[in-house]
Amino acid sequence: MAIISRARIWATVRRIPSGNVATYGQVATVAGFDGHARQVGYALAALPADSGVPWHRVVNSFGEISQRRGGDSHELQRILLEQEGVEFGANGKIDLSRYRWKVRHPARRERPSD
């Protein structure tokens, strides 16, 4: 069991292409921490503002933007995604079947349904 380092998670998030999104669980899987979606959220919460990591491309498993406890960066997240061409439905959700990041070499898919 490898130690889940925030740096490793950030490096994975950096690989998400513009115009795509990944779920927390997907980032965890690709980073080699399958089943540790929550730690991904924790890692992003600790991200420095000037890191250059495209944190806004990470959404929850429903294709929705997760709310922060304090702060208002979730509003910025939607704006940034829309600027990259990601469309939101009337319910505020992203169509994951359309925008979800397709990993070249997945350790294992988060959801086997595709």
- Write out the residues near DNA by the rule CB under 7 A: 1, 3-6, 23-25, 35-42, 44-47, 55, 58, 60-62, 66-70, 73-74, 77, 110-111
Shorter beta-carbon distance to DNA: residue 19 or 46: 46
Cα 17 to chain center, whole Å? 11
Residue for token digits 């939607």?
Answer: 78
Nearest distance, CB of residue 104 and DNA, angstroms: 21
CA-nearest of 107, 105, 97, 114 to 23 is 97
Nearest distance, CB of residue 44 and DNA, angstroms: 2
Nearest distance, CB of residue 109 and DNA, angstroms: 10
Cβ-based burial of 107 (10 A; exposed 0-12, middle 13-18, buried ≥19): exposed
